[in-house]
């Protein structure tokens, strides 16, 4: 209930009519059944534009710590809001998403829900597309659901008269990707990397972004300089990834 109210009363009218947002390819999103929306991540605006502009309810995994509400009044408010709008915790203990940590997400998918995820794991530091983390593949294979690639365009947040402004953002939805032949190999690192790279390549086809074969977080935290990132530009994701041999 809270999700519907926030979406249709608080967010969608502003994003669609004031910001001038539009959707392309919405017919590619299955109307029912478990599905993962895998999107590039340009800015904070993505997290409101995408769910506001698609017809289905979108559940985003959020850091498990945010659900604890143990860091003061504001953290309690955040924890309440996340639960109220039906978001689910993602446990990244040790920095890696395990099947155990994915349990709440897999439950949503098993119940026929739509889950949104940003495979890059962080917002792009410079508007380019960065290497995807394999959690998206692990989710899809474990839940046995298709992945729908999504490209966000023009979703960067600026200021207009002191208020947050997003100028005519576009959500581009691609055709579902079927990885059913790998459903029994959700723990095979080679399969996870290949599937993830295929997803990122499909996102790039929709977004037309320059691709950098490095994690965006490594640029953000300074472990990779801009020059080093520039040296890792490739024509497309997965160009050096070999398709796994059949079992």
Record the pTM.
0.90
Helices then strands (H, E): number in the chain?
9, 13
Q: Locate the domains of the chain by residue range.
A: 2-7+30-234
Residues 149 and 185: beta-carbon distance below 8 Å: no
What is the separation of C-alpha 7 from the centre of its chain, rounded to a whole number of angstroms?
A: 18
Residue scoring higher pLDDT (247 or 43): 43
Q: Which CATH architecture has domain 2-7+30-234?
A: 3-Layer(aba) Sandwich (3.40)
What is the separation of C-alpha 129 from the centre of its chain, rounded to a whole number of angstroms?
A: 12
* Angstrom distance (rounded) from CA 70 to CA 143: 31
Other Cβ atoms closer than 10 A to 17:
9
**Residues ≥6 apart with Cβ < 8 Å to 83:** 67
C-alpha distances (whole Å) from 73 to each of 6, 68, 81, 83 are 21, 12, 12, 16
pLDDT at residue number 95: 45
* Angstrom distance (rounded) from CA 36 to CA 145: 7
Q: Note the pLDDT tens digit of each residue in 107-161.
A: 999 999 999 999 998 999 999 999 999 999 999 999 999 999 999 999 998 988 8
Residue scoring higher pLDDT (90 or 169): 169
| Stretch 29-36: mean pLDDT | 97
Residues 135 and 63: beta-carbon distance below 8 Å: no
């Amino acid at each position: 209930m809270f999700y519907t109210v926030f979406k249709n009363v608080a967010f969608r009218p502003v994003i669609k009519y004031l910001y001038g947002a539009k959707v392309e390819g919405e017919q590619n999103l299955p109307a029912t059944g478990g599905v993962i929306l895998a999107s590039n991540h340009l800015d904070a605006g993505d997290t409101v534009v995408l769910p506001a502009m698609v017809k289905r309810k979108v559940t985003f995994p959020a850091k498990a710590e945010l659900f604890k509400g143990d860091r003061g009044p504001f953290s309690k408010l955040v924890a309440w809001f996340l639960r109220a709008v039906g978001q689910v915790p993602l446990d990244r203990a040790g920095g890696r998403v395990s099947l155990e940590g994915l349990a709440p997400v897999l439950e949503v998918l098993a119940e026929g829900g739509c889950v949104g995820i940003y495979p890059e794991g962080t917002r792009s530091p410079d508007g380019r597309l960065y290497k995807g983390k394999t959690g998206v593949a692990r989710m899809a294979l474990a839940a046995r659901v298709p992945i729908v690639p999504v490209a966000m365009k023009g979703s960067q947040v600026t200021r207009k008269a002191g208020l947050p402004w997003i100028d005519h953002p576009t959500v581009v939805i691609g055709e579902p990707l079927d990885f059913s032949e790998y459903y029994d190999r959700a723990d095979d690192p080679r399969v996870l990397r290949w599937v993830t790279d295929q997803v990122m390549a499909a996102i790039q086809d929709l977004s037309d972004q320059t691709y950098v074969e490095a994690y965006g977080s490594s640029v953000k935290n300074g472990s990779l300089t801009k020059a080093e990132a520039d040296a890792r530009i490739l024509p497309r994701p997965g160009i050096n990834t070999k398709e796994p041999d059949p079992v």
